[in-house]
Amino acid sequence: MCGVLGIKGSSSLAQGKILLQMLTHRGQDASGIAWVDGKSANMCLSKTDKYPDFLQIEEKQVTKSLLGATRYPTFGTRTDSSNINRYAQPFTVKTKYGSIALVNNGNITNVHVLSSKSFESDTEFIVELIGSLVNKHDGDIVKATNTFMEIVDGSYSIIGIFNNQIFSFRDPKGIRPLVFGKDSNVAVISSESVVLQNLGIGNFEEVKSGELILFKDDEIEKHQLFERDHAHCMFEYVYFANPCSIIEQKLVYEVRLNLGKELGERILNENHEIDYIVPVPDTSRPASQGLSEVLDIPVREAIIKNRYLQRTFIMKSEEERSRVAKRKYLYSPKYIKGKKILVVDDSIVRGLTSQKIIKDLRKHGAEKIYLAITCPAIRFACYYGIDFPTDEELIASGHNLEEIKNVLDIDGLYYQTIDSLKKSIGFTDLCTACLSGSYPTSYAQEIRIKYLNGELQNRSHYEEV
């Protein structure tokens, strides 16, 4: 999972860096940009193992083609590396027809079926494969992309530069989001619509599943290469995306509000005499409001996030997640001591953060703690770009509801149902593989069989099969 950005049209490198900063919620491990130098026409790169603000660039320099990416490590290196060029996007390759630079949001599941080379990032694999296919098809990016979609399994939302044009395409299932829009000066492609909103671009479109779009100097050319049943990632709505983003015509904030209302209907007749609804900041705040409207119970921000810390879920290792979780939250005892509280969170994945929060609430004297989760129980590994590639690390995989309650030390636990999740989002063509174990792409299904047969022995990942 990453945040990706493309700009076609006259833009400063500073603007690219500012827009990329708006995607750091999708990746905080590394950042990078690529651009075509206006004088030499050479492809240029800048990468950092920090936020985009730390990119070393000439900010006033202007380019007509720019790419950017923020990294969330779900493939290859998960901790600090001395060679950032091996794992941080963008990646480049030279072909007989010109250089290609490329960024990707997603995960390729069959890298090691298609290549014997070891990669620290599947985006490096992608750019090398695209480069070889461009050579094979005599420089035709449309034919190259068509072949790519035929042979590559997984999720991908890709933006690239080739011959001073920007191209963008999305996997046939549309698992990861990708939008584009334009004004009189530039065309912008991004993982999320908030980037376009920042530029005042109110009209935008989805890059369709299986579609390739070419952004040229004076036109936008569309090619619908594949049409398949869609499988949009439900976790984008539950957790990952910015609440102000619109994905598949659905405002993420409104979806989260609906998720809370659906949970409220389930809890309405439980007679718990709850004093306050307490959101775990920040993602669950809209859902808490939805619960409040249904249950007629006030919301109190009894848990305050330390705003100077990063998102723990997308950190590089379990050790780092545990360390930061210990200082991530502050508490308001007035709304905790002696109170019956309904704590709302977007999901329970490993359970580390939930355990820490519940323990802290007990220390602050909570009388009763109930936990409402806006996502159904996550029981199965994700092979498409969310960092839980094995079942064993998931608390709901090895425990039933009562066991999870005991592990977390809570008085009640309410998960969203899959049907209510779909109702809240507003459509049913979703990827719910991590909830149901049903994977929407063919090689991921093979991986699942190998996993169940014991062929995946550790967290070294499905990508090595």
Lookup: tokens for 275: 């004093």
**SS3 of residue 398 by DSSP:** coil
| Pairwise CA distance, residues 266 & 224, whole Å | 42
Spatial CB neighbours of 421, under 8 Å, sequence gap ≥ 6: 234, 238, 259, 262, 375, 376, 430, 432, 435
Backbone angles phi, psi at 379, to 5 degrees: -115, -15
The distance from CA 391 to its chain's CA centroid, rounded to whole angstroms, is 19
Stretch (H or E) spanning 406: helix 401-408
**SS3 of residue 42 by DSSP:** coil
HSE-up (13 A, CA, CB side) for residue 457: 0
- The residue ranges of DSSP E strands in 253-379, in sequence order, are 276-279, 303-305, 329-331, 340-345, 368-373
Sequence length of the chain is 465
Which residue, among 274, 323, 324, has the nearest Cα to 302 in the 3D structure? 274
Q: Are 247 and 237 in contact (CB under 8 A)?
A: yes
Active site residues: 2
